[in-house]
Chain A
Amino acid sequence: MRLEPRQSTPLWMTLAAPLVAIVAALVVCAALVIWAGEPVLHAYGLLFKGAAGSRFALTETLTRATPMILTGLAAAIAFRAKLWNIGGEGQFYVGALTATWLGSGMVTLPPWLMIPFLLLAGALAGGVLLLVPAILKNRLKVDEVVTTLLLNFIVLLIVNYLLEGPLKDPMSMGWPQSAPIIDEGVLPGIVARSRLHLGFVIALAAAVVTWAIMRFTVWGYEIRAVGFNAAAAAFSGIGVNRTIILTALLSGGLAGIAGVGEVAGTKGYLTLDLSPGFGYAGIAVAMLATLHPLAVIASALFLAGIYVGADSMSRAINVPTYIADVIVASCVLSVLVSIMLTRFRLRWK
């Protein structure tokens, strides 16, 4: 077997690659459904119905997709610069933590100021957290994959400590949870009788802004150049270290905003299970979107649908809800292969 680079990749191939990969992943995962003894089409039908079959299902999927769009953008922008930020989960939590700290009574502003203030503070916290691995990478060449991953565990323990100590709500009947975000800071709902909140609009706007930055600005050009070939970028006068720092602030900031949205929009207060792995899911979202900021929206909606749909399917039939994670992981791997096949030809000889 041999891989032969293609001279050019037709547009239809680039667009079809993720779709083909998704179908392939669903076909592979059908084996698990068969093992569970359920008819495949029926199970996938239930999954689809649970994700988009009713008004309730649809708004739940959109609610779930909100943080995933933001963590997906965080991963996409970082991976573009080959800054391997696997710390979205930690950045999500420091964002949420900062919003809780400032927003549960410490600062009171009118809503039109309070909400941007919390978002900005959360973004700053997330960005600063990623700054640590970025600086270590720049200065000492410390591998950022491991440092960002380890920081996730450290942040979660800090949140755990704060929720059992200084930030614990005295009215919470002993549960480790924070006091609620004050009314001025709560992200208002945007669809009646649902959990969908302003965060969704913010996430969409963030995707468009990120796309514009990457596509039209010098920053975006530098980020892409550093990711494509750091040595060549440096040679042509781009400050590689500076670009990495900038990428870190943007990426960590986006994940931090995801945390603010969940605490101030979906849940209202901080708990240890605020995120069922949104940071890690962001990596899958970004890969499925082939690191394109606008495609992140579609990718996050799809993966959120898988999670929400699988929850509802597993309540109806005998297929464990973990199938969602298996489908997501299979999608990531098959997308990687399909993208490679758009750039290389397989030759058998």
Chain B
Amino acid sequence: MDILEILLTAGFWAATLRIATPLIFGTLGELICERAGVLNLGIEGIMTMGAMSGWMWVYMGGDLVTGVLFAAFVGALFGLLHSIFAVHLGLSQHVTGIGITMLASSLSYFVFRMLLPNATTPPKIDAFDILPVPILSEIPVLGVALFMQTPMTYAAFAVVLIVWYGLYRTPLGLAVRMVGENPLAAEAQGINVLGLRTGAVMAGSALMSVGGAFLTMSAFDAFFFGMINGRGWICVALVIFASWRPGKALFGALLFAGIDAWQVRVQQLPGVTIPYQFFLMAPYVLSILAMIVVSRKALYPKALLVPFRRGERT
């Protein structure tokens, strides 16, 4: 097989969609937060928390769908915590975000060890099965690639549509974008800036958490330590790459996942002598490159990182 022939296999495209799923959830989650003017660096920890809590819900006897909802709920709680610090108290969004990541990931590990003190090999759950879409999945190659996925992957694509519609076609979305661009003007319109930012951060964090849950409930069936492995940070880079637009975010996530799926397959080709670590570096190097590429035209939401205090001029 050739380096380029890989691109023609159904397995490659199926893997791309699978790898893209947590990135789509995470990137959209971060995008919603930033569109409302709040950087959420809690993402890495919130994804860890989602991975742990959704998995644990199922392991303790819950079913998969409520497990995902539970992960979303826990993620929203951490979003609330982040917004208390970053929105209501107006603390540095950088530092509180890092603090939230530290807290959420260490709490995930603590809770996991508390509930399963003696687990040496990671215990498993019955994860989401592949759900073939009737008729469509029978299309050769394309069907296997696009329509033989787990329900969470389909959900990710639906969420892109919902977020796009919500942000650009509803009054609520307009208000969210407004508090991220010009909170003072938004307040003059009678919009509750702090409330809306809190809501956006909670909703975004819920999505991030679901992205984490995908890893333990759909891609794998167990929870490992350090399993998020920088995916959250890649999502933060993807939001910039996507210039804060949901459609471009989907494209970015798919592009990254595609390159990731491709490098795994290139590694296994005969005659490839590049050490595997350099392949594993690809997503991180690409993220940095992506940020450099778009840097000249990056249009940050104007009020990103700027805390809003009522009655205070900036």
Contact pattern, A 4-21, Cβ under 8 Å of B = 1, otherwise 0:
000000000000000000
New contact pairs (19) apart from A142-B295, A329-B107, CB-CB < 8 Å: A32-B110, A35-B114, A141-B298, A143-B240, A145-B236, A150-B234, A153-B233, A154-B285, A157-B277, A157-B281, A280-B102, A287-B99, A318-B117, A320-B113, A320-B117, A322-B113, A329-B103, A336-B85, A337-B91
**In the bound complex, CA of A330 to CA of B102 (Å):** 9
A284 at the interface (CB under 8 A from B): yes
Contact across chains for A157 and B280 when beta carbons are under 8 A apart:
yes
Known: A153-B230, A329-B102, A330-B103. A1 touches B95 (CB 8 A): no
When A1-B88, A153-B230 are in contact, do A284 and B102 touch as well, CB less than 8 Å?
A: yes
> Known: A150-B230, A150-B233. Contact between A283 and B98, CB under 8 A?
yes
Q: Is there a chain B Cβ closer than 8 Å to A140's Cβ? A: yes
Shortest distance from the beta carbon of A187 to any chain B beta carbon, whole Å: 29
CB–CB B237/A3 < 8 A: no
A-B contact pairs, 26 of them (CB 8 A): A2-B310, A3-B90, A3-B309, A32-B110, A32-B114, A36-B114, A136-B291, A141-B295, A142-B288, A143-B240, A145-B94, A146-B233, A147-B291, A150-B230, A150-B287, A152-B230, A154-B281, A157-B284, A164-B277, A165-B275, A320-B117, A322-B113, A325-B106, A329-B106, A332-B95, A333-B85
Report whether B94 and A84 are in contact in the complex, using a CB–CB cutoff of 8 Å: yes
Cβ-defined contact, B102 with A332, below 8 A: yes
CB distance from B78 to the nearest CB of A (A): 12
- Whether a CB of chain B sits under 8 angstroms from the CB of A149 is yes
A251 to chain B, nearest CB (A): 15
A336-B96 in contact (CB<8A): yes
Is residue A167 within 8 Å, beta carbon to beta carbon, of the partner chain?
Answer: no
A160 in contact (CB, < 8 A): yes
B65-108 residues at the A interface, CB under 8 angstroms: 85, 88-92, 94-96, 98-100, 102-103, 105-107
- Kindly report which residue of chain A lies nearest to residue B291, judged by CB atoms: A142
Instruction: Please measure, in the bound complex, the distance between the C-alpha atom of A260 and the C-alpha atom of B179, giving whole angstroms.
Output: 47
Interface residue B292 (Cβ < 8 Å from any Cβ of A): yes
Within A236-290, the residues touching B (CB, 8 Å) are 280, 283-284, 287
Cβ of A328 under 8 Å from chain B: yes
A1 vs B233: C-alpha distance when bound (angstroms)? 33
User: Mask for B288-299, Cβ within 8 A of A = 1, else 0?
Assistant: 100110011010
With A3-B309, A157-B280, A165-B275 as known contacts, state yes or no: A147 contacts B110, CB within 8 Å: no
Given the contacts A325-B106, A329-B103, A146 and B309 also touching, CB distance less than 8 Å: no
Contact partner of B107 (CB less than 8 A), chosen from A86, A142, A326, is A326
Answer whether residue A23 sits at the interface, using C-beta atoms and an 8 A cutoff.
Answer: no
B57 within 8 A of A: no
Interface residues of B in 246-289 (CB under 8 A from A): 275, 277-278, 280-281, 284-285, 287-288
Count of chain B residues with Cβ under 8 Å from any Cβ of A?
47
Q: Mark A118-145, 1 if CB is under 8 A from B, else 0.
A: 0000000000000000001000111101
Closest to A150 in B: B284
CB of A161 within 8 A of chain B? yes
B59 within 8 A of A: no
Contacts of B98 in A (CB 8 A): 86, 283, 332
Residue from A84, A326, A336 within 8 A of B91 (CB atoms): A336
Chain A residues positioned under 8 Å from B94 (CB to CB): 84, 145
Chain A to chain B: the 6 pairs with minimum beta-carbon distance, closest first: A325-B106, A329-B102, A320-B113, A329-B103, A161-B277, A140-B295
Tell whether B24 is near chain A: CB-to-CB under 8 Å: no
> B109 contacts the other chain (Cβ, under 8 Å)?
yes
* Cβ distance B148 to chain A, nearest Cβ, rounded Å: 31
**Residues 92-119 of A contacting B (Cβ, < 8 Å):** none
A326 near B237: Cβ-Cβ < 8 Å: no
Q: Once the chains bind, are A147 and B288 in contact (CB under 8 Å)?
A: yes
Q: Does A234 contact B (CB under 8 A)?
A: no
Q: A146-B233, A154-B281, A320-B113 are in contact. Are A333 and B96 (CB under 8 A)?
A: yes
CB distance from A132 to the nearest CB of B (A): 9
